[in-house]
A and B are shown apart, each in its own frame.
Chain A
Amino acid sequence: KNEVEQSPQNLTAQEGEFITINCSYSVGISALHWLQQHPGGGIVSLFMLSSGKKKHGRLIATINIQEKHSSLHITASHPRDSAVYICAVILSGSRLTFGEGTQLTVNP
C-alpha cells in the first residue's frame, strides 16, 4: 500500500463544475503539498499546508491532520485547469513522498 493515496486517478468534468481531489496518507507528516503538472511536464507548487485551509483564487486546499486526509477543490473549473494534480507529503526532513497523481480533464 502506498503511503500516499489519491483519488480519483482520472477525472473528467465540464467547464464550470466544482471539482474535488482527495489525498489520504498513512503516517504522521509535518506538511503536505499540492502540485500541478501540465502536459509539458513542468510542476507548480499550488499549496503547502500543515493545518486548516488555504485559498488561492479558485483553488482551495484543506487538511485534517487527525484523519490524515487532504482535499483540493477547484471552483468554476476551466479547460486550462486540465493537468495532473499531485499530492505530496513531508514525512521527515525535507523529503517528499508523492501520490500517483490525478489526471483532470475539463471539457469546454
Chain B
Amino acid sequence: GAVVSQHPSRVICKSGTSVKIECRSLDFQATTMFWYRQFPKKSLMLMATSNEGSKATYEQGVEKDKFLINHASLTLSTLTVTSAHPEDSSFYICSAKGRQLQETQYFGPGTRLLVL
C-alpha cells in the first residue's frame, strides 16, 4: 500500500518553543491530508483537514493560531505547534489520501511530542 512518513517520530521541547512536524506521502499525490491528536488510551481526534494549496479547515475547539498547518505541495504537509505548553504533549498522527473521494486514507507512523 501507499506510504506516509512523519518526522520527527519523537520530540522533546521546552515550554514556549515551537515544534514543526512533517507529514509526507512518499509514493502518491496527497490532495488531502488530515492531522489527528491522540491522548493515551483514547481514540483519534481530528484537528484539521488540509487540501493542497488552500487553507486548512480546523475542527471546533482547535486553535488555528496555535496549530499552524501548511500543505504547500502534493506530498508535504506540516503542523507547527507554536509556543508549546505541557498540555500540548500528545501523539500527533497525519493521514493522507489522493483525489478519489473513496480512496483509503494512509496513516503516518505518528509523532510523540513531550513538552517540558
B24 at the interface (CB under 8 A from A): no
Docked CA distance A50–B104 (Å): 12
B97 at the interface (CB under 8 A from A): yes
Tell me the chain B residues, 88-113 only, with Cβ under 8 Å from chain A.
91, 93, 95, 97, 101-102, 104-110, 112
Could you say which residues of chain A place their CB within 8 Å of the CB of B102? 30-31, 48, 50, 90
A96 and B46 contacting across the interface, CB-CB below 8 Å = yes
Number of residues on chain A facing chain B (CB within 8 A):
22
A95 and B109 contacting across the interface, CB-CB below 8 Å = no
User: B77 to nearest A CB, angstroms?
Assistant: 14
Tell me the chain B residues, 34-87 only, with Cβ under 8 Å from chain A.
34, 38, 42-44, 46, 49
Docked CA distance A31–B103 (Å): 10
A41 at the interface (CB under 8 A from B): yes
Given the interface pairs A50-B102, A100-B43, the reply to whether A94 lies near B97 with Cβ below 8 Å is yes
- Selected from A30, A35, A42, A96, the residue in CB contact (under 8 A) with B109 is A42
A98 and B91 contacting across the interface, CB-CB below 8 Å = no
B32 and A45 contacting across the interface, CB-CB below 8 Å = no
User: B43 to nearest A CB, angstroms?
Assistant: 4
Residue numbers of A with Cβ under 8 A of B are 30-31, 33, 35, 40-45, 48, 50, 86, 90, 93-96, 98-101
Residue numbers of B with Cβ under 8 A of A are 1, 32, 34, 38, 42-44, 46, 49, 91, 93, 95, 97, 101-102, 104-110, 112
